[in-house]
Amino acid sequence: MPRPSGMGSLSLAVWIEMKKAQGLGRSWKYLTTCEKHHLRMITIIIGAIRATEIEINDQVRKHEIIADAIKMVAQFRADWVGLGRSRRMVGFTHRGEFEIDIKRDLAPGSHIHETLGSIGCNTSPLGAGERILVIHVHLVLDATAVADAGDVDGEMWTNKVRDIMLTTWPGTRRTQAKALYAKQTVLVAVRKIYGYCKKRRYEYSTGGYGDVPTKYVAPYEWIWRRLLIKIYASTKTEFRSKK
């Protein structure tokens, strides 16, 4: 996109923002026109599957694991729709993506150890060829149509959403609703979240739960990477509202 001539400093800033928006998914672009206090980044841990390399090498068991992951995503979609039908979450729009992380270590007392234990996952020490698949979703939730005019920082509607998520998907740090960074423009924040949702990094990581930063430490072994590729190819990973 060439820069038009004769632009003042403000126009230049706008042009720079437009350049940064290139590559943003078409259905996400409307979010860049929203007020910052109407947007929140949501993360929800849907479920977890514990598996071994022996199971993945068994074709029957591998297909069962893939089917279990697909069912978890489908159930989550149904539960989310149910929130709208029950009138608990009406008028919100969202854009997001389902993702799977693989864990090879569950340090006792760590956030991920506590989170998975709270949703009924076996958190005993993992064997050398054993992993846990953590199925989750990242999304941007837009409350433009439902937020009260007096809710200037968005915390009123956000707290209601937090309560709804906690009762629908109970668990320690299982659900998170975070405001966009204050120092970022909406356009930059949405672009970064879009990239984060679409990243699909086939790498082991630490952190990423609660307020612990994510740190990538090593690539997944091919057997696990291939499993994730198969799961992603077998289900729709985009998670978005109709509007």
How far is the C-alpha of 240 from the C-alpha of 242, rounded, in Å? 7
On whether the CB atoms of residues 70 and 235 are closer than 8 A, the answer is yes
Determine the residue type at 161.
V
Q: What is the pLDDT of residue 209?
A: 66
Q: What is the pLDDT of residue 22?
A: 53
Lowest mean pLDDT among 32-46, 110-124, 194-208: 194-208
Q: What is the pLDDT of residue 210?
A: 62
Residue keyed to tokens 């076996």 = 122
pLDDT exceeds cutoff 80 at 36: yes
Determine the residue type at 216.
Y
Mean pLDDT estimate for the chain: 90
What's the pLDDT tens digit per position in 41-63?
999 999 999 999 999 999 999 99
What's the pLDDT tens digit per position in 21-32?
456 888 999 999
Determine the residue type at 176.
Q
Q: Other C-beta atoms within 10 Å of 50: how many?
A: 17
How far is the C-alpha of 17 from the C-alpha of 65, rounded, in Å? 43
Q: What is the pLDDT of residue 12?
A: 55
pLDDT exceeds cutoff 80 at 15: no
Q: Could you tell me the residue ranges of all domains in the chain? A: 27-240
Residue keyed to tokens 């026109």 = 33
Per the rule left: phi > 0, alpha: psi between -120 and 50, beta: everything else, 175 is beta
How far is the C-alpha of 194 from the C-alpha of 28, rounded, in Å? 8
Q: How much of the chain, in percent, has pLDDT values that exceed 70?
A: 88
What's the pLDDT tens digit per position in 207-230?
766 667 788 889 999 999 999 999
Angle (CA) 97 207 38, round 5°: 45
Of 92, 143, 134, the C-alpha closest to 115 is: 134
How far is the C-alpha of 68 from the C-alpha of 221, rounded, in Å? 21
